[in-house]
Amino acid sequence: MAEWFCQLGMDSEDAKKHIGTGKVIPWIGDQMTVERLHGLYKYRHEDFNSFDRMDYLIPVFGWFHLQMAFANSLHKQYLGIFRLTATQGTAQIRNERSFLASPSQSASSHHELKSKSPTEILTLATTLVDEHASHHAIAKLNHLDEKDRNAVLTQWTMFNVDMGDIRRMEDVLPTLLFRFAGGGNSKYTIEILELNHVCQHCWLINRSGCPDGWTPIDKGQEQNIGDIKVTYHLFGPGATWTYLHKISPAIPTLRALQRHMESKFKTITRGAYHGIPDKEADVTKLTDQYIKSNLHVHEPGRQIKATAKNKAEDFVTTGAIDIERLGMFDNWWRNHAYKRSTDEEWDDIGRG
């Protein structure tokens, strides 16, 4: 942290006094960084002045790393329902799931929709959400007797809700709180509990000036690291720290030039042709996949028993229950309700 202040030219005694007594600094990082900053903030709560106590500090998790944690949680939750038996190899997995694994075959259904009016499309979309991608739809299915419930439909409805419940960043925080609590992501649960307000200037950056050019700060930093270490890394006899310092300011320009060339020559553009999807075949493949994965399926004349490892749990509901049952709010308060020093002794500043 001292090195950051040094590089920013904010390491003089006067600057430290100004920061300690008059500034609030959001500090963005991955979960481990934020957790360590919390620990340091608590450890130094009785230091000599507001700068040494880090009173200026507001640790904030980065949205890029939160997204990765979200993806890992979804993978953990739904891995079982996609798992084939152990005797089947990866080649068969690819063949049977080619409609999921191959980007060239994941065509949209615009061929069927283009003949419909805007009102009809809106009605279809509303019906899809209400009946197949909403908590209301899950509740309706769960209220059915087990013998009447379609387990495949129940699991996929929950999957649609969890995958599609993104909305605005601020709005999704309560859902993520329950998900992380129910899915065993205790550290990110604490990070979201820590966040009692939405910071308007410390989650996203825009280096392009374009309306769609926003990106999480921690993702932007990872991109910078990637450019320095990989894309524009130094090699050969001229690779010195002096040369790296010299070219670093040009990296944003080099990045912009690269993106411009890609857009003009279409070097990373996928083909635009989409075949007409065979929805019946796709649904049949998915249903068969559930059967092979030993997941409970109820159809007239056919019933297959479920196994615990292949049935996705409802992390959000479990998390909502656990937050109350395990007293997470009380634990959070106990870890934060401690008295901090208010001394302002500035002799020998930064001694710690």
Examine the pLDDT at 41 and tell me if it is beyond 50. yes
Q: What pLDDT, on a 0 to 100 scale, did the predictor assign at position 47?
A: 93
Structure tokens at 116: 């419909």
Tell me whether strands 297-299 and 302-304 are parallel, antiparallel or unpaired. Answer: antiparallel
Beta strand 25-29 pairing with 214-216? unpaired
Whether the predicted pLDDT of 18 surpasses 80: yes
Check whether 68 has a pLDDT greater than 90.
no
Q: What is the pLDDT of residues 159-208, one digit of tens each?
A: 888 877 555 667 788 888 888 889 888 888 888 877 655 566 677 888 88
In this prediction, residues 324-349 reach a mean pLDDT of 84
Report whether 170 contacts 186 (CB < 8 A). Answer: no
Residue 8 has pLDDT above 70, yes or no: yes
Cα atoms found within 13 Å of the Cα of residue 159, Cβ hemisphere only: 16
Per-residue confidence (pLDDT) for residue 299, from 0 to 100: 47
Q: Are 83 and 310 in contact (CB under 8 A)?
A: yes
Whether the per-residue pLDDT at 132 is higher than 80: the answer is yes
Q: CB within 8 A of 185, min separation 6: which ones?
A: 69, 73, 179
What's the whole-number average pLDDT of the chain?
77
pTM: 0.66
107 exposed, middle or buried (CB, 10 Å; 0-12, 13-18, 19+)?
Answer: middle
From 137-141, 190-194, 272-276, the region with the lowest mean pLDDT: 272-276
In this prediction, residues 280-295 reach a mean pLDDT of 64
Q: Report residue 90's pLDDT band, with 50, 70 and 90 as the boundaries.
A: very low
79-83, 185-189, 251-255: the lowest-pLDDT one: 79-83
Report helix, strand or coil for 63: helix
* Other Cβ atoms closer than 10 A to 34: 23
What are the tokens at 224? 């910078």
Query: With bands split at pLDDT 50, 70 and 90, how would you rate the model's confidence at 287?
Result: low
What integer is the mean pLDDT of 234-257? 82
What tokens does 91 get?
Answer: 């080649």
Q: Which residue has the higher pLDDT, 118 or 93?
A: 118
178 in Cβ contact with 323 (< 8 Å): yes
Closest CA to 224 of 254, 257, 201: 254
